[in-house]
Amino acid sequence: MSKFRFKEDFVWGVATSSYQIEGAAHEDGRGESIWDTFCRVPGKVVKGESGDVACDHYHRFEEDLDLMAELGVNAYRFSIAWPRVQPDGRGAFNEKGIAFYERLVDGLLKRGIQPFATLYHWDLPQALQAEQNGWESRDTAYRFADYARKIGAVLGDRVASIATHNEPWCTAWLGNATGYFAPGNADLKKAAHVAHHLLLSHGLAVQALRADGVKAPLGIVLNQSPAHGATDAPEDLAAASLEYAKFVRWYMDPIFKGEYPDEALQWYGANGPQEVIREGDFDIIGTPLDFLGINYYTRIFASACGEKRPPDVHGFTDMDWEIYPEGLTELLTKLNAEYELPPIFITENGCASKDVLENGRVQDTERIRFYDLHLAALSEAAQKGVDVAGYFAWSLLDNFEWASGYDKRFGMVYVDYETQRRTLKDSAHWYSEVIAEHAGAEASR
Ligand code: GCO
């Protein structure tokens, strides 16, 4: 009997992204991405690491597909590297790059695993950054729609869904307001302009794919958290409300309500998106979606007087992120009350932990506890009426954790980067049992 209650056709998956696992950064015609460039900037990535080799998934994808089949997942969320498909971000497409994703998708289908494709997981063709400052330029939104149409034409009849973007907040805020991620800008107005062009590109791509007759469900993936004040003092509650507006509503409101949240617009002031918003943009951005992907990791804990560490309720992950499963139930029920939502997939949830491979085994009990707590929280949200369609564990493999490099391990499968040997961790075996129990429970219901 499964202790988690989800609908019978619930999707059980694992997730990865192109730059974090593929490697083969200069192979078969792949163009440079802004992350290839960013990794070469001294000090930006721990130990100066990069995705040059990563998990060598480009060459080892059949083995990784077999691992997924062994896990018993019925879906796999992956991203397509735009520069592998269209090296310059415009013009010619790279047939070898496209062929890789056709082999990947066909390999999934052959194993009965549904392919959930993401068009953009941060690896913008460097040529677009060099020529027109990437997402700062409105034209890049139109380049993205052209790229989307190509993927729709080639894979649209084989993939189970297409998400336009993964976590536009990371691209806009971490990549352009803080400089922590590629391309490394630290300029609030650039971040607001980038966010608007990402949202516009999302809407343009959805409209173009629909116009081309692509049948795959279309959506977007947003990283979200509920926000709490460090205390009940009005100034802390106001700080939490503002952070929620900047992090969650900044993307949800344009897509589902046709406007930016006023609270956050006030905070941006002259650095807001007003200069780049054009007549009709919100009609494009608000094109109805078939699903919403939500990546959940933790809550926002806000204080009016700077950083405040949350109380230690369930502990902290190796990223020093608070483990807060209750936040997933709270977030989903709040969103469900405030927006007209399509079905929701949890497209990422997982934790980094200090995994040790010993005698061919990784006893990642902390990760099992993390998944157990969050699946219970998700099940509670489903019982409260949230239309929860599926769950993707982040991640299948240990992989390149962006500015943290390879030190932070999120995988259910341990990767020895010296040998590229994969080892299923205890959490992988646990996840397999959970999936089997759910299938059994549903069959007997
Ligand atoms: C994200 C990205 C992933 C990360 C994962 C852990 O959500 O930031 O989608 O690429 O690796 O979330 O940080």
Kindly list the protein residues whose Cβ atom lies closer than 6 A to any atom of ligand 1. Answer: 17, 20, 166-167, 170, 223, 295, 348, 394, 401, 410
CA atoms within 13 A on the CB side of 218: 26
pLDDT at 338 over 70: yes
User: Locate tokens 């020093």: which residue?
Assistant: 320
5 within a domain of the structure (yes/no): no
**Confidence tier at 167 by pLDDT (50, 70, 90):** very high
Q: Confirm if 394 and 15 have CB atoms less than 8 A apart.
A: yes
Q: How many angstroms does the Cα of residue 150 sit away from the middle of ligand 1? A: 26
Number of H helices and E strands in the chain, helices first, is 17, 12
- Tell me the CA–centroid distance for residue 424 and ligand 1, in Å: 20
Tell how far the Cα of 395 is from the centroid of ligand 1, in angstroms.
9
User: What is the tens place of the pLDDT at every residue in 63-97?
Assistant: 999 999 999 999 999 999 999 999 999 999 999 99
Grouping H, G, I as helix, E, B as strand and the rest as coil, residue 68 is helix
437 lies in a domain?
yes
Catalytic residue among 243, 348, 380, 401: 348
Give the distance (Å) from ligand 1 centre to CA of residue 1.
32
Across residues 324-335, what is the average pLDDT? 98
Q: Assess whether 348 carries a catalytic annotation.
A: yes
Q: Return contacts of 326-329, CB within 8 angstroms, 24+ apart.
A: 326/377, 327/225, 327/226, 327/296, 327/298, 327/299, 327/377, 328/296, 328/374, 328/377, 328/378, 328/381, 329/377, 329/378, 329/380, 329/381, 329/384
Which is more confidently placed, 3 or 372?
372
Q: What is the largest CA-CA distance in the chain?
A: 62
Q: pLDDT tens digits for 242-298?
A: 999 999 999 999 999 999 999 999 999 999 999 999 999 999 999 999 999 999 999
Q: How far is the CA of 268 from the centre of ligand 1 (A)?
A: 26
Ligand 1: residue whose CA is nearest its atom 6: 401
Interatomic CA distance for residues 379 and 4, integer angstroms:
6
Residue 2 lies in a domain: no
| Domain annotation covers residue 382 | yes
Residue 445 has pLDDT above 70, yes or no: no
Whether the predicted pLDDT of 2 surpasses 80: no
Does position 135 have pLDDT exceeding 80, yes or no?
Answer: yes
Pocket test for ligand 1, best of 394, 404, 407 (most atoms within 8 A of CB): 394
Instruction: Tell me, in angstroms, the distance from the centre of ligand 1 to residue 234's CA.
Output: 32
Take residue 128 and report the two structure tokens written for it.
């677009």
Give the tens place of pLDDT for each residue, 199-258: 999 999 999 999 999 999 999 999 999 999 999 999 999 999 999 999 999 999 999 999
User: Does a structural domain hold residue 27?
Assistant: yes
Going by alpha carbons, the residue nearest to atom 4 of ligand 1 is: 401
pLDDT computed for residue 3 by the predictor:
82
- Mean pLDDT, residues 136-141 taken together: 98
Judged against a pLDDT cut of 90, whether residue 422 lies above it is answered with yes
Atom of ligand 1 nearest to the CA of 122: 10
Residue 3 is assigned to a structural domain of this protein? no
Query: What atom in ligand 1 is closest to the CA of residue 166?
Result: 9
**Looking at 167, 322, 330, 380, which residue is catalytic?**
167
Mutate which of 170, 348, 409 to test ligand 1's pocket (most atoms within 8 Å of Cβ)?
A: 348
Please name the residue whose Cα sits nearest to atom 11 of ligand 1.
401
Atom of ligand 1 nearest to the CA of 402: 11
In a domain, 6, yes or no: no
pLDDT digits (tens, 9 = 90+) for 293-312: 999 999 999 999 988 899 99
pLDDT at 444 over 80: no
Ligand 1 atom at minimal distance to the Cα of residue 394: 5
* Confidence (pLDDT) at 440: 75
Mutate to test the pocket of ligand 1, among 295, 321, 351, 408 (most ligand atoms within 8 A of CB): 295
Cα(17) to centroid(ligand 1), Å: 9
- The CA distance from 300 to 327, in Å, is 9
Q: Does residue 9 carry a pLDDT above 80?
A: yes
At 116, give phi and psi (nearest 5°).
-105, 105
Written as one string, the DSSP assignment of 363-377 is --HHHHHHHHHHHHH
Question: For this structure, is 243 an active site residue?
Answer: no
Residues 378, 346 contacting (CB under 8 angstroms): yes
User: pLDDT at position 443, please?
Assistant: 65
Number of domains in the chain: 1
Mutate to test the pocket of ligand 1, among 16, 164, 167 (most ligand atoms within 8 A of CB): 167
Among the atoms of ligand 1, which is closest to the Cα of residue 401? 11
Gap from CA of 170 to ligand 1 centroid (Å): 9
pLDDT of residue 309: 95
Give the mean model confidence (pLDDT) for residues 326-348.
98
pLDDT, position 307: 83
pLDDT of residue 1: 63
Provide the domain limits for residue 174: 11-444
Across the chain, mean pLDDT equals 97
**Banded pLDDT at 388 (limits 50, 70, 90):** very high
pLDDT at 288: 98
Q: Is 4 contained in some domain? A: no
Task: Look up the CATH number of the domain holding residue 236.
Answer: 3.20.20.80
